[in-house]
Amino acid sequence: MVQLKVLIVLTAAIIIQILDADTLKKAHETCVDSEITFYGKSDTVVLKKKEYRITVNAIGFELMILNKTKLVNIYKLEDPNVKFCLNEKIVVAKGIFVLSSSVPEAVDYFFTFSKDKRILKLINQTMLFRKVPPG
Amino acid sequence: MHSIPWIPDSDGNLTAEKGDNAATLSKFLGVKQEDANKILSSQDKTDVKEGDKVTLDNVYTRSIKNSTGDLTTDKVLELSAKGQDVKGPDVDNYNCWGSAIAGTQGKEINNTVGIPTGSKFDVDLVGDYKPVDKESATFGNTVLRFSNENNVAEHGAVFYGKSNDGTIFVYTKDGWNAKPEVMKLSDLQTKIPSYGTVKGVNSSDSGYYNPNP
């Protein structure tokens, strides 16, 4: 009976390890794809590598969205979150009202949007992502 | 007779009203009269006349002067209402809480002082400040805490003087894009109602805080 219990526990541990490995592999594959994904409440817009350009600056980075059709779709998203890869790690950015000081919890970067939580018409199709300050 | 107040402009400098002098400046700034005299004499304004401008050199005026942007709160409101994005210069990349805490601690206000969350701002207020009555607020030294209906901190500003009719002026940095400026408290609350009202971390407190000595 004791041997059976040990076997069940060991089997469960192996299954959990396989699942974890799968999750990590998927996350890694997503990063390799170099996609930037905008998740709205009901829609998603995915930017492929050729559809954007990133310029790193002192406070974070600027994202120039080259695909105008997708940019129009990004403007339609409500309360978008953005996920992308940086140094092979998935990072998350969320928006705040343009006059708000409060940075969302548990994010790496933030950007500003309108009162109704939509991305404002970008200057030169470029969106600024600010690094969350330590604190 | 009550002293006649100086009126701050958006850059944090002062304009004299009829009857203003070193004594009223001393009272307005909360400094010794000899220090007020020094400010006036250094600007050749020993005989103050109505409308005279007095330039102040403090952490607040320096932060406004250092801003290379033109995004006033009004302009950010106007552009965002039209659906247009705004982008402040790197030098203005800090926020209300960071500037209020740094300024009232006598530290220079720049793009290293940002405080990311209202909860961290509250921790700073509870740990390093004491709640005071509104009437005990002093120029450049008192933090105002704004919160929403659930008493979650939404904004912070610094007391920048009060006129005899009760008009309170504040130094405020509205979000991460706008340049800092000085304005009437009532104007700030009208322009950005989402900041809520001035309220303490403990709701029984006034929402005005002075640094611990």
Q: What is the pLDDT of residues B174-192, one digit of tens each?
A: 999 999 999 999 999 999 9
What pLDDT shows up at residue A18? 43
Domain that holds residue A59: 35-131
| Residues in chain A whose Cβ is within 8 Å of chain B | 57-59, 96-103, 105, 112, 114-115, 119-123, 127-128, 130, 132-135
Same domain, yes or no: A105 and A58? yes
Its pTM stands at 0.87
Same domain, yes or no: A49 and A60? yes
Same domain, yes or no: A50 and A105? yes
Q: What value does the mean pLDDT of chain B take?
A: 94
> What is the domain partition of chain B in residue ranges?
7-54, 59-211
Q: What is the pLDDT of residues B5-41, one digit of tens each?
A: 799 999 999 999 888 999 999 989 989 999 999 999 9
The architecture in CATH of the region B7-54 reads Roll (3.10)
Q: What is the pLDDT of residues B127-181, one digit of tens each?
A: 999 999 999 999 999 999 999 999 999 999 999 998 777 899 999 999 999 999 9
Position with higher pLDDT, A18 vs B43: B43
Same domain, yes or no: A50 and A88? yes
For residue A120, list chain B residues with Cβ-Cβ distance below 8 A. Answer: 79-80, 83-86
Same domain, yes or no: A19 and A50? no
Same domain, yes or no: A84 and A102? yes
Strand partners, A53: A64
Phi, psi for B160 (deg, rounded to 5): -125, 35
Same domain, yes or no: A71 and A89? yes
Between CA B117 and CA B122 the distance in angstroms is 9
Whether residues A98 and B90 touch (CB distance < 8 A) is answered with no
For residue A57, list chain B residues with Cβ-Cβ distance below 8 A. Answer: 90
Q: What is the pLDDT of residues A66-111, one digit of tens each?
A: 999 999 999 999 999 999 887 778 889 999 999 999 999 889 999 9
Same domain, yes or no: A83 and A53? yes
Q: What is the pLDDT of residues A25-40, one digit of tens each?
A: 444 445 656 899 999 9
Query: Could you report the predicted ipTM of this complex, rounded to two decimals?
Result: 0.88
Q: What value does the mean pLDDT of chain A take?
A: 83
Query: How is chain B classified by DSSP, letter by letter?
Result: -PPPPPEE-TTS-EEPPTT--HHHHHHHHT--HHHHHHHHHHTT-SS--TT-EE---SHHHHHHHH------HHHHHHHHHTTB-----GGG---HHHHHHHHHTTPPPSTT-----HHHHHHHHHHHEEEE-GGG--TTT-EEEEE-TT--EEEEEEEEEE-TT--EEEEE--TTTSPPEEEEHHHHHHH-GGG-EE--SSTTS-SEEEE--
Tell me how many domains chain A contains. Answer: 2
Same domain, yes or no: A66 and A108? yes
Average pLDDT over residues B182-210: 96
Same domain, yes or no: A39 and A93? yes
Average pLDDT over residues A4-8: 53
